[in-house]
Amino acid sequence: MGLEDVVVTPLDPERLRAVLTPDALAAFEHTLTRGRELLQSRTLWNVNSTAYGGGVAEMLRSLIGYARGGGVDARWVAITGDAEFFRITKRLHNRLHGHEGDGGPLGEAERAAYERCCAANAELMAKRVRPADVVLLHDPQTAGMIPRLLQTGVPVVWRAHVGIDPPNDLAREAWRFLIPYVEQADAYVFSQPDYIWEGLDPAKLTVIAPSIDAFSPKNHAMAFTSVIAVLRAAGLAADRHHHYPRAVFERLDGTVGRVESKARLVEEGQLWLGVPLLAQVSRWDRLKDPLGVLAAFAEHVHADDEPHLVLAGPDVTAVADDPEGEEVFAEVEAAWSELPRRIRRRVHLALLPMVDADENAVIVNALQRRADVVAQKSLAEGFGLTVSEAMWKGRPVVASRIGGIREQIEDGRTGFLVDPGDLRTFGERVSGLLNDPHDAERMGAAAQTRVRDLFLGPRHLGQYVELLESVLSGRA
């Protein structure tokens, strides 16, 4: 058992002048000034369960980077755990989304195993914090650390990145498991008002929507030649030529990186650059419904030209806190193998390399920019950062009408929302966009504007500063 100190590069807030409106820029400058005043001589600790894989880790890398670049001592620690701990927390994650997951219990034996791991991590964390510091804990994996950390005198905020609207009995079972820890925190943060749990103190509640970083390797602007070079280097595009530009990119710290790792692909033939493309990039998780995307594409996407589908996700051996990833990918691969060959040859399953977080991010960036339409056909979604990521790139998104996705997409204007089980309508929306590139371009432009106005990091940081001001004044 040990804590992982995640290295975060300070990011220059000045770069945001290029994308923010004047009013948003003025608000962000106030955020940085007030944040320095509040946290002078304090450390802001962020604690979660993994440094890589998934939207939470990506957000932390960006938000902490800008905080550090703005003069705040912000740090990030990832806890560790055994296989049993992560099976239990994955069970909690699924049930917070209203899904049964592996069907296992959340009884006293599970509570004992969960508390044992949380207590060990909390004890290590308690040796690091000072009473003047602030600790921000993220998601179910860290909730059990709250009681011990409060004993150090440090203010503790707990952040939930998952939720369901409306809740069902499975979600409430997870609430009952976690509330004895969560209710003790100085404040709790949810991504949407509808996700707030019954039984928590309303005076401690705050709603803060997630965000993306416009300048991260996953979202920064890319020339068409760079998109091609990255995809070819990663093995995600067929290469008729032996010579093409080097697949270089700017890392989060400003240094230059090069794409050298290749995706592991399940496909009958390589993906050519000229073919129309639908892509979904997600963790290999049943709640992301890759099997549903596969079925909808096979049965209901009938565009004029023969489009292709890429289902991409992280290499299943590289995400420590998601024990179901390998099993889900095997299910998708089995379903792919049973497709008629005329469809199977147009479907590509991609396991993206995870040895280098920035390299992985720029591959995702290129793949989303290569796509004509991006899908996010989740069965449950706390927020769904991949939606904002694709929208920022000017891509139309066809996604499920659930969770935080509804906050991002204005149906018919910045994308399309469909019911998760309606495969026919999903296919019709995708086909319509593939058949009408002008409409797809119009929708993509409106989507990018919406993300600029609502879902970039400066707004997110401003809300955190307001929350910290409230917590610290309450403690005073």
Average pLDDT over residues 43-66: 92
What CATH number is given to the structural domain containing 83?
3.40.50.2000
- 460 and 449 within one domain: no
| 206 within domain boundaries | yes
Kindly report the average pLDDT of the chain as a whole number. Answer: 94
345-360, pLDDT tens digit by residue? 999 999 999 999 899 9
269-326, pLDDT tens digit by residue? 999 988 999 999 999 999 999 999 999 999 999 988 999 999 999 998 876 567 789 9
Phi, psi (deg, nearest 5) at residue 420: -55, -35
- 198 and 51 within one domain: yes
Domain span at residue 49 reads: 4-211+456-475
439-464, pLDDT tens digit by residue? 999 999 999 999 999 999 999 999 99
**This prediction's pTM:** 0.90
- 266 and 319 within one domain: yes
Count of the separate structural domains present in the chain: 2
- 460 and 429 within one domain: no
| 248 within domain boundaries | yes
Give residue 382's pLDDT band: very low, low, confident or very high (50, 70, 90).
confident
Strands 4-5 and 347-352: what pairing? unpaired
| 216 within domain boundaries | no
Span of 17-21, 127-131, 176-180 with lowest mean pLDDT:
17-21
Q: Which whole-number Å values give the CA distances from 245 to 269, 368, 371, 428, in the listed order?
A: 23, 20, 20, 37
- 153 and 292 within one domain: no
CA distance 40 to 61: 21
- 195 and 268 within one domain: no
Dump the DSSP string for 339-372: S-HHHHTTEEEEEE--SSHHHHHHHHHHHHHH-S
CA distance 384 to 387: 6
- 470 and 385 within one domain: no
- 245 and 192 within one domain: no
Model confidence at 339: pLDDT above 60: yes
